[in-house]
Amino acid sequence: MATVAFIGLGIMGRPMAVNLVKAGFDVRGFSRTGRSRDAAAAQGVPIVGSLDAAVADADVVITMLPDTPDVEAVALGDGGALAGMRRGALYIDMSTIDPEGALRVHDAAARAGIGCLDAPVSGGEVASIEGTLSIMAGGTREDFDAARELFYAIGASAILVGGAGSGQVVKAANQLMVAGHLQMLAEAIVLLKAHDVDERGALAVLGAGLAGSTVLARKQNAILEQDYRPGFRVELHNKDLAIVQNAARRKGVALPATALVSQFMQALVAQGYGALDHSALYLLADELNTR
Ligand code: NAD
């Protein structure tokens, strides 16, 4: 089985690395904080002491990091992952980053003779733990085929959606849809409460019809129980909506509803709720209607 360096063992990366270990891959994990390294080690992920030690001689290097600058800091430059990898190896960034950042990483990998995929994921922490992520990859067919076995150790679906950077474009579309669904779910609950209609029963009915969605199924409990432990942090979704808006601006397209929900997400960050789960959008919808 291939040797896989896994960089970034947070909420998403840790269970992904655990599933690769379970599938028989020879995993070397590395993450910036001691806490994330210790948590991964406790779940059976072999940990090494540095980025260099993780990527040297790895067949595949995966990054699962917060944002575009984090990926560029880890992948690029003299001390970066691409500089330490052997020619012919494969670099896969599974973080959610700006498509333009992904293109810079693809270019650097091509210059170094290293295969490259941008392969962000959807499904959240639950799918990461269950190994049922939806993986949207951008790159060449050859690199995608080389990653196929690995993808099916962590995902239920892996699709090559286009060339370099297009995985991140599809993920941006995913993030605006999830934000919109969450905002509408929050407003639906405000309306139900205002009429003293039992929310659980109502949401069960709604979930069985056209309004049903994964967002409704997975996020209603967080709102009904006011339990906003992440999950997916507001600050990360806010970062993603900035990526969406920048990508739209570059192509000159207008996404007005996305702009509105982006402002709600930004307001949550401004109010100090950045570390909560993104289902905390409900807090603002509720506050707008509270005397
Ligand atoms: P997280 O903050 O929990 O984990 C990120 C990890 O990266 C941390 O353990 C941190 O120590 C590590 N890290 C940061 N900089 C590093 C560096 N320079 N070198 C080594 N390690 C470094 O974030 P997360 O929720 O796991 O999200 C990771 C990515 O996946 C983000 O791009 C996010 O947008 C995306 N994503 C998250 C979810 C979700 O539900 N949480 C779902 C889909 C996609």
Residues 16 and 158 in one domain: yes
Q: Is the CB of 10 under 6 A from ligand 1?
A: yes
Residues 28 and 156 in one domain: yes
CB 44 within 8 A of CB 54: no
Residues 19 and 133 in one domain: yes
Of 139, 163, 187, at which residue does a domain stop?
Answer: 163
CB 54 within 8 A of CB 29: yes
Residues 111 and 9 in one domain: yes
Under the banding of pLDDT at 50, 70 and 90, the label for residue 77 is confident
Number of separate domains in the chain? 2
Residues 61 and 16 in one domain: yes
193: its two tokens: 């409460």
Question: Has residue 1 got a pLDDT over 90?
Answer: no
Could you tell me the residue range of the domain that residue 176 belongs to?
169-287
Would you please indicate which residues are annotated as catalytic (active-site) residues?
A: 171
In the reported structure, the alpha carbon of residue 244 is separated from the centroid of ligand 1 by a whole-number distance in angstroms of: 18
In the reported structure, the alpha carbon of residue 96 is separated from the centroid of ligand 1 by a whole-number distance in angstroms of: 9
Of 116, 136, 163, at which residue does a domain stop?
Answer: 163
Residues 19 and 153 in one domain: yes
Residues 150 and 25 in one domain: yes
The structure tokens 């970034």 sit at 8
198: its two tokens: 């039992």
Q: What is the CATH number of the domain that holds 191?
A: 1.10.1040.10
pLDDT at 232: 96
Give the pairing of strands 115-118 and 133-139: antiparallel
Total residue length of the chain:
291
Q: Which residues neighbour 206 within 8 Å (Cβ) at sequence distance 6 or greater?
A: 188, 212, 216
Residues 119 and 249 in one domain: no
CA atoms of 65 and 286, how far apart (whole Å) = 32
The H-or-E segment that residue 55 falls in is helix 51-55
Residues 158 and 199 in one domain: no
Among 96, 236, 238, 243, name the best residue to mutate to test ligand 1's pocket (greatest count of ligand atoms within 8 A of Cβ): 236
pLDDT over 90, % of the chain: 99
What is the per-residue pLDDT across 106-155, written as a single tens digit (0 to 9) for each?
999 999 999 999 999 999 999 999 999 999 999 999 999 999 999 999 99
Residues 146 and 213 in one domain: no
In the reported structure, the alpha carbon of residue 195 is separated from the centroid of ligand 1 by a whole-number distance in angstroms of: 40
Mean pLDDT of 176-187: 98
Residues 139 and 225 in one domain: no
CB 117 within 8 A of CB 105: no
pLDDT over 70, % of the chain: 100
Of 137, 163, 189, at which residue does a domain stop?
Answer: 163
Residues 157 and 173 in one domain: no
Q: Which of 239, 262, 24, 264 is nearest to 149 (CA)?
A: 24
Q: What is the CATH number of the domain that holds 26?
A: 3.40.50.720
